Every structure is written in structure tokens, then in C-alpha cells.
Structure 1
Amino acid sequence: MYLIEYILRDGRDAINSLIHYTTTPVVRKRIPKYKIDSVETLYAMMDIFKKYVSDWANHINSYLKNKEKFQVVKFEELIDNKSKVVKELADCLGLDMKKEDIEDIVYKTGFKKMAKKASNHLRKGKKGDWDNYFTDEHKKNFKEIAGEELILLGYEKNYDW
């Protein structure tokens, strides 16, 4: 069996990050098809929002069909307890890592450290920010398109969010 690391993220946060990312000047310059420069404008374009959600759901369904091939780490676990996650990954790979090595990895992959090197790519490094942007209509559409996937992944227990 091949071990492939897969970092999973709450789809609502993934979509929120995508919307913020595609409206940045650097990305719009690199990818001319991204013409919208306002997060609010892009969020108001429900057809694009639905497409992003559908694309995420399709991606997740591909993962779910092959999940036995992956070692999964949730992005949220990395935020909450990166040291524990690094230790678990090392153990899974059969690596005997000292506490200092784990601390070094945690430091070198910390948000502030990485943001200095990739400031155009990293925005907040937080979980749950989607709730600051999703309207009731966004929530309704996300539930219709990918609510089941959120439940299957354990991000929600039901559709009452």
C-alpha cells in the first residue's frame, strides 16, 4: 500500500480562501481569466460560488472513493496541535524523531514564518473564517451541493449549521 499524505480542509474555508486568493492583484496578473478584484463582488456571483462548491465536492468525492490510499491530516488539526500531527506522521512513516526535531518542523512551518516566504498565498491561517462571509443563501447552496460531503468528512453532524 502506498502512503500519500492528504491534507483535508473544511470545504467552506477552502472556498472562502479560494475567493480571497483569486481576487488578489498578483493572482489576477498571473491568471488573466480572474478579473474580479473584490471579495464582496465575487461572493455576490452565486453561479461562480456554486461552481467552486461543486468543484470542491467533486474533488472530495474522488478522495472518498480512494481514501484507503491516504494518510489524512485535517488542516484544522494542524492549526490546533501541529506538534502532535507531526509526531503522528513521523511515527506513521517509521521515523524516530526527537522532540527538538518536531519543534524545529513546527517552527519552520508556522504561519508567520511561512507567510514571509509566500505572502501572496497565505492570508490568515485560521479556521472558520467562512462564517464571516457566507450569507444564508451561501449556506443553503453549499448544503445543497456539498452538505453531505461535510457530514461524511466529520465537519458537521447534520444540515443544521
Structure 2
Amino acid sequence: VRKMDSLPRTELFDFHGVSMTHSFTNNWENIQSFQARPDDILIATYPKAGTTWVSYILDLLYFGQNSPERQTSVPIYERVPFLELAIPIMDSGTDLADRLPTSPRLIKTHLPVQFVPKSFWEQNCKIIYVARNPKDTVVSYFHFERMAMNLPEPGDWSSYVQRFMQGKVVFGSWYEHVNNWWQKKDTYTKLHYMFYEDLVEDTGREIDKLCSFLGLSPSVEEKRTISGGVQFDKMKINKMTNYSTFKDMDFNISPFMRKGKVGDWKNHFTEAQRKEFDEDYEKKIKDPTLHFRVEI
């Protein structure tokens, strides 16, 4: 058996104007022709924005009561398939989604809005977008790239911050991603845009908003149970949500679920980096209605 670290890391390339790797473009025709159903729910995020968290919340809201056995036997990445993922060690995301036995199907994606398969719009599917402030995102992504073997080698922290600002990371520019999805909600009404920081601040409140968007009315007790069960420390030790069963990650380098905090960026950014990053942010996020919190 070859050790993980002996496998070559993937390279970034420009894919229709967005930095990508082959793990997410190999299956492109099947992704683009994917047939969504009207009750599908798409969870869309830029990487490291709380995707697994929101996936788990939705999975519990829909299936926690009536099929509890899924919670202990099926890892989250099979319950909520990653649409564009196509790596040799497992079935493609489109195949996993096609085989989902649940209704609704919960599907996750990191695709920029312009790459989302047409059928999701045509079927008028509900879409939940989660955004996280860029400073915590870049820190989390840096640590994730160190341990995720199907992603490029991140290099050192200071060069990584530069690459992040340039959009030279997988799934491209964070700024374009959050901006374009934010604008989409003006023309597409079934899009619920939420913020990671709000979830950290008051998980219960955000679950209420999700329920009202989805037309769900769980009991107070059910909501309390879900809110408690999805806290970071619980998910971090839950083998079905912490990705410890996923073959392509090296937990000796970093856990998949690292801290889940708001403001950890302060432990990474130098004052000079912060200043440069803030100036860059001001140039790229021009919409005054899109507001991110870097601490709570």
C-alpha cells in the first residue's frame, strides 16, 4: 500500500475562468446534465463555510426522527453527496445523488453560481447558501489543504494568503463566489442565504429561519435536540460527521473539523497581512448590503 504522502498532489488549472482541479471537473458532463427533482435541496457554499454543519442540520430536520439508524451507520458524505466530486476511491457525487433513497434529496456543492446544473433552476429547487467571513475561511482552507490529499499543496501561510486573494485556490475567488450568489437571490426567490457567524452566535435562531424557509415545523423539543446535537464539539467526535472514515484525508496533519470558531484568523494574520487583506476586501466586495463579521 502506498503511503498517502507519496501520492503526487493535484495541480490547479483555469476552468472557464475559475481555478479548479480535476477531482471536481472530471465528471463535468454528468454534473451539467444532472437531473434535479423539484423537492431536491441544494446546499451551496464556498469551501470551509460550514457545509457539513448545515448538511447535518438539514439531515436531522428531515430524517432524524423517522430514520435514526442512518445517523449511526451512514457517513454524512454519503447522506449528503458532494455533487461535483469525482475521485478514484469512491463513487462520483452524481452517482451517489442519483442513488439517494431519501426524499427530499440533500445535495451539496461548492460550485460558483454560474456552474450550477441548469435543472436545479428549472425545477425551482430550494437552495441554501452559507457564507463565512474571508479571514476565517482562508485560515480554515489553509489547514484543510494541508490534510486533504486530493487538493493542491498549500505551501506556507503567507504565500497562501496571497493566492487566496488572487482566487488561485480550488473553486476560485471567494469574493466572486459570495458576491455572485448574493446577487442571485435578487432574481431567484428560493434561495436562503445564511452566514456562518450567525450560526455560531445562535444556532437555534438560524434553525428557526431554515425551518420557515423550508416550510418545516418541528416541535420545540425536536429543535432543541437538533441544536444540541449539531454543536461543533459533538460533531467533531461523531465518526459519521467528522470525516474520519474518509480515505483521502490525513488526520495526522490536521483534523477535518479543526476549531469551528469565529475569529481564529487573529492567531494567523500578521498586522501587515491583515491590513493588506482588508484593503483588498474593500476593492472586491463592493455591495454595501453584503456584510461579513470577523468577530462576534
TM-score (normalised: structure 1): 0.77
Note if contact 1:43-1:49 (Cα within 8 Å) is conserved in structure 2: no
Q: Which runs of 5+ in 1 are unaligned?
A: 157-161
Give the number of aligned pairs.
Answer: 148
Q: Give the CA deviation at 1:18.
A: 0.6
Query: What is the distance in 1 between the residues matched to 2:208 and 2:151?
Result: 41
Q: Which residue of structure 2 lines up, in the alignment, with residue 13 of structure 1?
A: 136
What is the RMSD computed on CA atoms of the aligned residues? 2.6
One-letter amino acid matched to 2:152: K
One-letter amino acid matched to 1:127: V
Structure possessing the higher radius of gyration over alpha carbons: 2
Q: Give the CA deviation at 1:45.
A: 5.1
Instruction: Note if 1:57 corresponds to 2:175.
Output: yes
Matches within 5 A, 1:37-48: 41-44=156-159, 47-48=162-163
Q: Give the CA deviation at 1:144.
A: 3.5
Structure 1 stretch displaced more, 73-82 or 108-117: 108-117
Query: What is the distance in 2 between the residues matched to 1:32 and 1:21?
Result: 9
Q: Give the CA deviation at 1:81.
A: 0.8
Query: What is the distance in 1 between the residues matched to 2:130 and 2:256?
Result: 17
Q: Which residue of structure 2 lines up, in the alignment, with residue 159 of structure 1?
A: none
Greater helix share, structure number:
1
Equivalent residue for 2:272, pick from 130, 133, 137: 137
Flag the structure with more relative contact order, 1 or 2, with Cα contacts below 8 A and sequence separation at least 6. Answer: 1
Q: Which runs of 5+ in 2 are unaligned?
A: 1-123, 245-254
TM-score (normalised: structure 2): 0.44
Query: What is the distance in 2 between the residues matched to 1:103 and 1:140?
Result: 41
Instruction: Note if 1:78 corresponds to 2:199.
Output: yes
One-letter amino acid matched to 1:85: E
Q: Which residue of structure 2 lines up, in the alignment, with residue 94 of structure 1?
A: 215
What per-residue deviation string (whole Å, max 9, x for no partner) do you get for residues 70-127 of structure 1?
2112111111111111112112221111011111211221111211231631111110
Query: What is the distance in 2 between the residues matched to 1:9 and 1:32?
Result: 20
Note if contact 1:15-1:52 (Cα within 8 Å) is conserved in structure 2: no
Q: Give the CA deviation at 1:2.
A: 4.3
Of all paired residues, the percent bearing the same amino acid is 26
What per-residue deviation string (whole Å, max 9, x for no partner) do you get for residues 29-49 of structure 1?
x2363164xxxx323555424
Query: What is the distance in 1 between the residues matched to 2:261 and 2:161?
Result: 24
